[in-house]
Structure 1
Amino acid sequence: MTTQRSGHDQAAGEGDVHAAIASLRFAAKDVDTRAVRGRITRAIGTLLHAVLPGARVGELCLLQDHASGWSLEAEVIGLLPDGVLLTPIGDLVGLSHRAEVLPTGRMQEVSVGPDLLGRVIDSFGRPLDGKGPIKTVHKCPLRGKAPNPMRRRGIEQPFPLGVRVLDGLLTCGEGQRIGIYGDAGCGKSTLMSQIVKGAAADVTVVALIGERGREVREFIERHIGDALARTIVVVETSDRSAMERAQCAHMATALAEYFRDQGLQVVLMMDSLTRFSRAMREIGLAAGEPPTRRGFPPSVFALLPGLLERAGMGERGSITAFYTVLVEGDGTGDPIAEESRGILDGHIILSRALASREHFPAIDVLSSRSRVMDAVASGPHRKAASVFRDLLSRYNEAEFLIKVGEYKPGSDPLTDRAIDSIEELRAFLRQGQDEPSSFEETVSWMSRLTA
């Protein structure tokens, strides 16, 4: 009897709980709820201080002034004892003390899809080319993680670029990451154009970071041309905020990652890594970080590997990446040049002396290196490239003596051969912007020159 009563009491108790929950739900419908809102306490330069409980680093927030209708997105970049640091994604003109800060609860994402091919967009995926809206099919993180190093495929196959000096003497592999180092006026745009047009890629993603506005359309029309059909161009010009310029690099990399994950061969061309680093310097210094080498805060050197390691081989597809770096001379002492050389798989040095002689592409072959050439080039190919380099080096060593008339023919047979063949070597190294050369033709020509 006691057992029956206790079971009856338990059932009655459960019924009371369910009734109470239902009553609370009904009452909650009439409760006036408001989202968590913060307020701006300080705005100096490109940095905002705000009181915003519960905000997370990397979270997107919306700044709104209901009185004027002004609004702008911002990202949380730091936490303080009395609030948070935000960096605006756009122009702060119009901000007032009335503005509220609304956390969105989400990190930045990228809308991706095949309809992006042939389009020019900004770092938010908004079209800049006037061709109408873009249909996307998927979202992925703006700042993705690098692939697991143990699950990456190795770099085993050459990646033809259509540029003789690169295919022959600085052979790149599929999934390699290469830096292009040079000062302004060294033919950087010309070389980028040749790679975009000649590379054996399914998709090309070009990031133009901090470029002059007038140069963007010129680069697309003159240097990309018909290759735009399989290319996505991401643009943030020099007048945009530091966050937008920095985001341009992440946006382009995220797009390349999406197509790599579809099993495609992707070329990522970023111009330039220097301007990305300068944008991050602006953000870091505004946040109060201490300046170190050349005024760059420590966060820049922590962020570079994270960005560069996202490219390369994946489990299915690949991203073969080229990053331009603006340097003076050979780049000695430039912190971004030195840091990136230690991360990337090769470096291409552009020579102002060659460019001044109208020798394009103006690549200093003897100062440039591809770290994967030995793994992807055949034995005869490597041998021919070694002989070519040796001949070029011997001529450079004897060039001064030749010019002043002090060189004596017959003193060194190999140097004599280098002098006799220098014009043929230079003809191989020179290549017009619209003068494609297949990988097989390049290796065959180089083999004949060095036989």
Structure 2
Amino acid sequence: MNFTSIISEKINNISVEKNIIHIGEVKKFDGNIVYTDPFPAPIGSLCLIHDCHKNKIMSEVISFDEKYNMLAVLGQNPNLIIGCKVQLIDDGKNINIDERILGRITDAFGNPLDDKPLDKMKEEWPLMGKSMNPLKRKPVTKPLDVGIKIINSLLTVGQGQRLGIIAGSGVGKSILIKMMCQFTNADVVVLGLIGERAREVGVMVQSLFNNENENNITVVAVPADQSPLLRVRGANRATAIAEYFRSKNKNVLLIMDSLTRIAHAKREIGLSLGEQPTSKGYPSSVISMIPNLIERTGNSDTTNGSITAFYTVLADADDHNDPVVDTARAILDGHILLSRNNAQMGIYPAVDITNSVSRVMNEIIKQDHLEIAQKFRAHVSSYIENKDLMMMGGYVQGKDTLLDEAITLWPKIIDFISQKENEKINYSECISKLLKLYNG
């Protein structure tokens, strides 16, 4: 059952009670935005529009002024004419949530996409989250085992940390995400597949829900062909689910794939409302949305729960200075850059260790681990910087002690940073292998 049929079934089952009155009508439609009477409705409210064929079309209030309410249609190809009736059905501020969401795949409204029944859940949580006191947030103090050798040992992630995965196309991003979902030592895994191709969504879901941890995973999927408002709503819903479980003292892993597609959706909304594009076509609302979304994650200020978050950021044409990349990198607690050169050499995960950083690593690992990790980075950096010189035969051994060590260790280094996609290596084993590489 696809998204359109699910929404159609849901809204066709809505009974129009006598106390729900006609509160507005369509005044203008430009193909993107529906202009209606200025009835009282906050931004984010959900409305039903009755089109000329008596179909009910879901829409969302995205702006208003003294003349019009501006609504965005959440479906495709609406048959609207002037005078179509509009009904306010919900303020859109809360989602229904409880433990039954685990093991399920849902859309931006919480409708199941896996053809299984899902009764209305008992609790509510704000779609846009609850504000937290920054002074009461618990600090990141202990490592999180993600089951991936290069990250555990050289880019150690802290429980409650927020990181970006910056990658171009075809460098193994999806495989890395799948490994994290399956291997990470977390109570709950929330995966937001926002704006991705429907085929990739299907492949990812099938691989995740065929392993022993499937009952700890929930997926919010809003493919690229859906409304930009649904894509943004899907991102907020995935974050709200993670916040709910954090409030229950759970350690949550949130993976959002991708932050760039969410930014593109927000750009579509902003431009349709007449916002002026600034940096590379992005209006200011996009730049403000990114920190708002990211800051909802991390450690709690009231419970012992945490949200460790990874946001994938697509570097178009491998441009790592894109506005979305820059904004995300500034607000996140670190970033993992995937290298096309590593991917072309068959090194997976294709992490560029010299251009990746975990900002909390130094504070959560032991001193001997830190010293060896720094030495490892120095050897990789020295080898890469001098690779062309060595290929031309211009380097004479003995001139640079660090480079000599790197040349000797290089086969072991390549073996260390490589890992099969079905191979899980726990945190203590990763550190042991790193120390053994240097100490024998």
SS of 1:299's partner is: helix
2:181 aligns to what? 196
1:245 aligns to what? 231
Q: Which amino acid aligns with 2:278?
A: T
Match of 2:206 among 207, 221, 224: 221
The question of 1:93 aligning with 2:93 is answered: no
Structure 1 residue 330 displacement after superposition: 5.2
The question of 1:165 aligning with 2:150 is answered: yes
* Equivalences for residues 155-304 of structure 1 within 5 A: 155-222=140-207, 225-226=210-211, 227-304=213-290
Match of 1:439 among 400, 422, 427: 427
1:125 aligns to what? 110
Structure 1 residue 73 displacement after superposition: 2.2
1:338 aligns to what? 326
CA contact (8 A) 2:41 2:91 kept: no
CA contact (8 A) 1:76 1:85 kept: yes
Distance 1:96 1:392 in 2: 64
2:34 aligns to what? 48
Match of 2:339 among 351, 371, 376: 351
Deviates more, 1:411-420 or 1:334-343: 411-420
CA contact (8 A) 2:127 2:237 kept: yes
Task: Give the unaligned 5+ runs of structure 2.
Answer: 1-17
Q: Which amino acid aligns with 1:203?
A: V
Match of 2:350 among 350, 356, 362: 362
The question of 1:154 aligning with 2:142 is answered: no
Structure 1 residue 105 displacement after superposition: 5.5
Distance 1:89 1:60 in 2: 10
Distance 2:29 2:166 in 1: 37
Q: Which amino acid aligns with 1:107?
A: G
Distance 1:365 1:192 in 2: 17
Deviations along 1:303-348, one digit per CA (max 9) or x if unpaired, are 1111110011013200000000110355343110011111111011
The question of 1:64 aligning with 2:50 is answered: yes
Q: TM-score, normalised by structure 1?
A: 0.89
Structure 1 residue 36 displacement after superposition: 5.5
Distance 1:128 1:107 in 2: 20
Deviates more, 1:56-65 or 1:110-119: 56-65
Deviates more, 1:232-241 or 1:97-106: 97-106
Structure 1 residue 90 displacement after superposition: 2.1
Structure 1 residue 75 displacement after superposition: 1.7
CA contact (8 A) 1:273 1:323 kept: yes
CA contact (8 A) 1:90 1:244 kept: no
Q: Which amino acid aligns with 2:25?
A: R
Structure 1 residue 398 displacement after superposition: 2.2
Aligned-pair identity in percent equals: 37
| Cα distance change, pair 283–329 in 1 and its aligned pair in 2 (3 A) | closer
Is the radius of gyration larger for structure 1 or structure 2?
A: 1
Distance 2:81 2:94 in 1: 28
CA contact (8 A) 1:117 1:229 kept: yes
Q: Which amino acid aligns with 2:388?
A: F
| Cα distance change, pair 134–365 in 1 and its aligned pair in 2 (3 A) | farther
CA contact (8 A) 1:37 1:52 kept: no
SS of 1:225's partner is: coil
Deviations along 1:139-186, one digit per CA (max 9) or x if unpaired, are 111111342212211110111101111110101100000000011101
The question of 1:35 aligning with 2:35 is answered: no
Distance 2:204 2:170 in 1: 14
Deviates more, 1:127-136 or 1:235-244: 127-136
| Cα distance change, pair 166–415 in 1 and its aligned pair in 2 (3 A) | same
CA contact (8 A) 1:197 1:224 kept: no
SS of 1:180's partner is: strand
CA contact (8 A) 2:231 2:265 kept: yes
CA contact (8 A) 1:190 1:223 kept: no
Distance 1:58 1:357 in 2: 47
CA contact (8 A) 2:195 2:225 kept: yes
CA contact (8 A) 2:27 2:83 kept: no
SS of 1:288's partner is: coil
CA contact (8 A) 1:196 1:224 kept: no
Q: TM-score, normalised by structure 2?
A: 0.91
1:14 aligns to what? none
Structure 1 residue 223 displacement after superposition: 5.2
| Cα distance change, pair 33–245 in 1 and its aligned pair in 2 (3 A) | closer
